[in-house]
Structure 1
């Protein structure tokens, strides 16, 4: 079992970062290996992407959701793959976003990528890209005003 723990500080309010993260359909705009994320229902997401040059698809389930603070998920098809993303408000309108993931590399390519640190580097890139995505907008994209409707 492999695990990763990464944090990044974002120059945006926690509410903005959190609500942008909920715009799952936009993940392909800042995650290099993700081609599409589609909402199946209130707790399930269908992902399409490329890992080690191979197209893959998977489904994740949100198993715990603390609005504005934390989202816990698991891969519905690989019980060993799960994670949590947390949003911690800091002073001066900043947010610390922390991502913890546990996963089991299965294929030879995934195992090699894990040993070489490719998975960790991709995660760091995705978080940096998310930071830039949020900071360049100043507010979250899409969806209703977070003060008027609970997120899905």
Structure 2
């Protein structure tokens, strides 16, 4: 197993970067290796990826997700076996550091290609540049999913305090 990590700064607020990242179906619009993403359930996605003539489909389970903080996943099944995490850190009011860390378990002939750290790192770096251009070009997210996932399970949202619309008179 080896780890690939890349970081990029994007010129949008952390909530904008995070919100767009949660729109998995939009990934084929800006990522060259991602051909299709299907959101089966909030914590389960099916990915179709292609590099040259090699095409692979796999499912990924989101194991941890915290709004404006991180998304962590692991693949299900045999190919390609990896787990990863993307983190979002505000660097200014309108800037965000996005870091993607992927742990790859090379298996078979395709796994041998993913086992070349420089190649995997270069692909990840290029895809993050595409994300940067995409989100900065839009200026705002095309959608958002603000739920929290722990151990692969969607957590109920915290109830918001009830605020009455009835004006309160100052107590004298």
TM value normalised by structure 1 = 0.88
Distance 1:66 1:113 in 2: 28
Residue 55 of structure 1 deviates from its aligned partner by 1.4
- Pairwise CA RMSD: 2.0
| Corresponding residue for residue 90 of structure 1 | 91
Question: Does 1:28 find its partner at 2:21?
Answer: no
Q: Which has the larger radius of gyration?
A: 2
Specify which structure has the higher proportion of strand: 2
| Corresponding residue for residue 37 of structure 2 | 37
> What SS does structure 2 have at the residue aligned with 1:131?
helix
| Corresponding residue for residue 105 of structure 2 | 104
Distance 2:56 2:5 in 1: 24
Distance 1:128 1:51 in 2: 17
Alignment of 1:1-152 (within 5 A): 1-51=1-51, 53-78=53-78, 80-115=81-116, 117-141=118-142, 143=143, 150-151=146-147
Residue 134 of structure 1 deviates from its aligned partner by 0.4
Q: Which runs of 5+ in 2 are unaligned?
A: 149-172
Q: Which moved more, 1:57-66 or 1:74-83?
A: 74-83
Specify which structure has the higher proportion of helix: 1
TM value normalised by structure 2 = 0.78
User: Runs in 1 of length 4+ with deviation above 3 angstroms?
Assistant: 149-152
Residue 5 of structure 1 deviates from its aligned partner by 1.2
